[in-house]
């Protein structure tokens, strides 16, 4: 192969590789951006699911007392009855 054809082929190959590299970087950057957007969107729901326990307890179920009522004698300080 003539010398100038070899140089031309090398230049063309390097130019092609440069184009592929540039495309790869753009594709990578776009993927990162899309991933970021997806993370933000899904992360919002994820944080809602992972609300603090006390928040869930207060809103998601009737809260049982820290301890059940104790037995007592006498008449009591107040009366709980219907009004």
Partner 1 sequence: MTRDTFEVFGTTAVLLVTRPGAIGQARSIADRLLAEIDLACSRFRPDSELSRLNAAGGEPTPVSAIFADLLAVALRAARLTGGDVDPTCGRALAGLGYDQDFADVRAAGGAPPRLTGPVGPVPGWARVQLDRGGRRVRLEHGAQLDLGATAKARAADKCAEQIADRVDCGVLISLGGDVGVAGQPPPDGWPIRVTDDHAAPAWAAGQTVTITSGGLATSSTTVRTWTVGGRQVHHIIDPATGEPARSCWRTVSVAAGTCVDANTASTAAIIRGAAALDWLHAIGLPARLVRHDGTVETTAGWPYDDPGDAA
The contact set with partner 1 (CB under 8 A) reads 57, 59, 61-83
Question: Between residues 1 and 64, which has the closer beta carbon with respect to partner 1?
Answer: 64
Nearer Cβ to partner 1 (52/65)? 65
Q: C-beta of 47: minimal distance to partner 1 in Å?
A: 18
> How far, CA to CA in Å, does 4 sit from each of 1, 12, 17, 24, 41?
8, 12, 20, 30, 55
C-alpha span between 66 and 80 (Å, rounded): 19
CB 49 to partner 1: min, Å: 18
Of the pair 43, 60, the CB lying nearest partner 1 is at 60
52 secondary structure, DSSP code: -
Rounded to the nearest whole angstrom, what is the least distance from the CB of residue 61 to partner 1 in the complex?
Answer: 7
Q: What is d(CA 58, CA 64) in angstroms, rounded to the nearest whole number?
A: 10
């Amino acid at each position: 192969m003539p010398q100038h054809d070899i140089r031309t082929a090398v230049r063309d190959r390097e130019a092609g590789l440069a184009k592929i590299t540039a495309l790869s970087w753009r594709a990578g950057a776009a993927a990162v951006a899309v991933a970021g957007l997806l993370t933000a969107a899904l992360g919002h729901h994820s944080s809602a699911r992972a609300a603090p326990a006390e928040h869930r307890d207060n809103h998601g179920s009737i809260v049982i007392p820290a301890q059940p009522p104790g037995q007592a004698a006498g008449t009591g300080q107040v009366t709980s009855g219907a009004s």
